[in-house]
Every structure is written in structure tokens, then in C-alpha cells.
Amino acid sequence: MTFARPEHSIDTDTLPRMPAWVTSARVETLEDVAFLSGAALNHLHVVLGCAEVPQALLRERCAAEACVAFSGRRERAGELRDAAHLLRPGDLPGPAGETYLIWRRAVERPVAVKALGRALSAFEPGQIATWLDAGVGAPVKRAALVLEAVLREAPRADEAALILADAALAQALGWDHVVPLLAAGLKRADLRKQGDELKLACHRALVSSAAEAVRLSTNLARRAAHLKAVAPKLRAKGAADAVEIFLKQDAVAPSVLPLPDRAARRLCNRLVDLGAVRELTGRDTFRLYGV
């Protein structure tokens, strides 16, 4: 399924906001939490259908934040970005960096066994397909069953379990790509739960992570709109292609832009001056930029 695009452009300031009662309600039963997670996912589905939301950029940003939230390591988003974008041939990214790279591969292509196998190279495609088939029923139940199935056979494969659970959720919701939601909301201790306890943890995680994804979608839509608005002011040859890269990637090194090195750095500085992108590292060298 491809999200339907509205016939008329929507002002990014009027993108639908998550109702306060979805995240403020205090409930304990599986039935009540399932109702709230369903409301949160439905609202996120509507927001993701808005043309203003830069989908690829949102998925990458969610992947980075999920890795920081779940890893339990000291690395912050900046270190993860460095691991992904500043590696030289032969360099190793470190455990957290490797997890981030796996997630980037998982979200960049449409959901399919082959694409997931590219991200989860430690597992055979047949095994991945079997795990995905373990999920039946409603979307969250399906994701929880996949999570449980993976960890039952590969108890230490937390990243694979979360990626496949989010993939199962995306398939059940009719989304083309994985959106890291369970990975952003579940705690490490939740992965050792089973049955209804695991389903309850998944529903709770989705209430918070879907709300955060809505907030992030609105923010990125606003910033992407500003980038598109200033794009006509850019005179550098290749600037239009550079803007498209910024709209798809969480962090961009000048060296990947389709311009000579000096021109690429000038373009990045110009975009910072225009308030269209931010410099993400705070360094004078080896800089990264993002919307």
C-alpha cells in the first residue's frame, strides 16, 4: 500500500496532532491499552499519508533515535551519525554504530524478505520469512508473535527481533516501509516477556512511540517546507539534487553532494545561513548537516 496523497496541499502548521487523551490516559488492562495504541497508530497513519512529511528522512531519524533509546550505551545520536557517515574503508563502526547501520538498511527499502535479508545478513532469507509468517491476527498481536518467535530461536538477536516485529507491524498496517516504533518504545526487559505480558508491553510502547513519530513528522514537515522554499535561491549547479539528498537522509557529509568539495561546503554553509539545514556536530572539520 502507498499512502494516499491529499488532492490539496496541507499547511504543515495544520498537520493533525495526536489527541492528548491518547497519551495522558492511565490504564492497565490489555483491552484499554490496545484501544489507545490503535488510536495512536491510526493517527500516525493519517499523518504519514500527508505529502508534506519527508518519509525517508523520517524513517532515518526514527532509526537513529530508536538506537539511542534502546541501546543502553553511552553513544548519542552524534556518535551514531559519525559511525555511519564518516567511516573510512576498513573502519569498524562499533556495536552501537553497527546497530544503527543495520536499522538504516532495514528502513530504506520497501518491506520484503530480500530487503530485510540485506539488513540482517546474519540470517538466511528463508529463516526471516519463517519468522514473519509466525505473526497472525491484528497488527500488534502479529508483531508481538514475531518478536517472540525470533527471540525463542535466537535469544540474543534483539535487533533482528525488533526489526522483524516492526516489519510485521508495517505489513499488517499496509505500510510500504518499516517505521521503527517498537524499537523506540520497548525496554530491554520487555523483550524477555511472553504472551499477554509481551502484547501489553507492545501496546504501551506504541502509544508513546507513535506519538513521538507524529511530533517528529510535524517538525520535519515544517523544516522540509522551509528547505524547499529557499531552494530557488541556490545558484550552485547541482543544488537541486543536493536538496533532494537532504530531504532523504538524516545526516549529510558535504562529500556526498553532487558538487566539487569546496562548492559543496559553500552550499552547506549557505543553507545553514538560510536556516534550511543545521550543522549537527559542532566541529570545525568533518562536519555533518541535516534538516
Q: Is the Cα torsion angle 243, 100, 98, 118 positive or negative in sign?
A: negative
What is the rounded distance in angstroms from the CA atom of residue 243 to the CA atom of residue 246? 5
Q: Which residues contact 121 (CB under 8 A, 6 or more apart)?
A: none
CA-only gyration radius of the chain, Å: 19
pLDDT in tens, the chain (291 residues): 444 333 334 455 667 778 888 887 777 788 999 999 999 999 999 999 999 999 999 999 998 878 877 665 555 777 778 877 887 777 777 777 788 889 999 999 999 999 999 999 999 999 999 999 998 899 999 999 999 999 999 999 999 999 999 999 999 999 999 999 999 999 989 999 999 999 999 999 999 999 999 999 999 999 999 999 999 999 888 899 999 999 999 999 999 999 999 999 999 999 999 999 999 998 888 999 999
Where exactly are the structural domains of the chain? Answer: 27-220, 234-290
Alpha-carbon distance of 260 to 278, in angstroms, equals 20
The CATH class that applies to domain 234-290 reads: mainly alpha
